[in-house]
Amino acid sequence: MSVTAFPVLVRILTDRGLERTEVGTLAISCAGVDDVAAWCLLAFVSGLGGARPGGVWSTMALAVGYIAVVLVVVRPAVRGLVRRHERPGSSAQASLGVLVLAMLTSALTTEWIGIHALFGAFLLGAVVPHDSQLVRELGRRLQDLVVVLFLPAFFAFTGLRTQLQLLDGAEQWALCLAITLVACLGKFGGTLAAARFCGLGWRQSAALGALMNTRGLMELIVLSVGLDQGVISPQLFSMMVVMAVVTTLAGGPLLDVLDRERTFTGPGVHELLA
């Protein structure tokens, strides 16, 4: 319920020229902290869901131990790899191959521990210096493959797993509506209340709440992990997917309504020419 779609949020802010405004800066900062907390909580819940009866504590101990190994041992090794990659005459293919192999190994390790493989890949990515030449080159080479092939395949796979026929009655659709309302109340309402408490105006607080209420791809990843682990049922999965789509689609139009007086973006080109 609390996750925010960071890529969707950044795209909305960029399209509207809000990324350097007070609301945009606050939204990006809040979404970053929010998503880190969500990933940590999801890893914990995934460990609980994937652990054998009586093995929850061993799964958590192995997870904490593996995180310590990555931070103490793997992180310095990755930084050394990054430094070697930036030396003249270094082999880019070898460095990229080692980094991809390390990512797959980390994913397999967390899967063996009992936590979803996604977290292993995420953990390794978190310890790689983001401003390094190696990361930029890896992103350049993988971006087209991910955007053109993997991302549409993931959305198609999620769509195939969404069984709207399970919502075959008024009671199920009422529950779906209740889930959507609770999600908006917690995310939009919670952000609105916190922003007002910190001194923002009503319109800015509402805009911040609308931005934080987008869920998008991040929510679908969380739901897929929950469905794979048996934490949620196919029926609840379908309801949550509907909630994620509705709240994400509502973010942009709601922000336009709140910004009808150009409070955040300022006057448009046509207004200036007039």
Question: What is the model's pLDDT at position 56?
Answer: 67
pLDDT for position 175: 93
Cα–Cα distance, 10 to 19 (Å, whole number): 7
The pLDDT averaged over each successive group of 10 residues in the chain (274 residues) is 81 79 85 79 72 64 87 90 77 81 90 80 84 82 82 84 86 92 91 90 88 85 84 90 89 80 49 35
pLDDT value of position 80: 87
pLDDT reported for residue 267: 44
How far apart are the C-alpha atoms of 112 and 66, rounded to whole Å? Answer: 11
The DSSP line for 206-253 is HHHHHHHT--HHHHHHHHHHHHHTTSS-HHHHHHHHHHHHHHHHHHHH
**Which pLDDT does position 180 carry in this prediction?**
93
Question: Which distant-in-sequence residues (6+ apart) come within 8 Å of 75 by Cβ?
Answer: 127
Output the pLDDT for position 261.
57
Cα gap 35→126, rounded to integer Å: 13
pTM of the model: 0.70
Would you say 234 and 32 are in contact if contact means Cβ atoms under 8 Å apart? no
Compute the distance between CA of residue 97 and CA of residue 95 in angstroms, rounded to an integer.
Answer: 5
Token output for 217 = 């791809």
Angle at 212 between CA 209 and CA 217, to 5 degrees: 150
Q: What is the pLDDT of residue 50?
A: 59
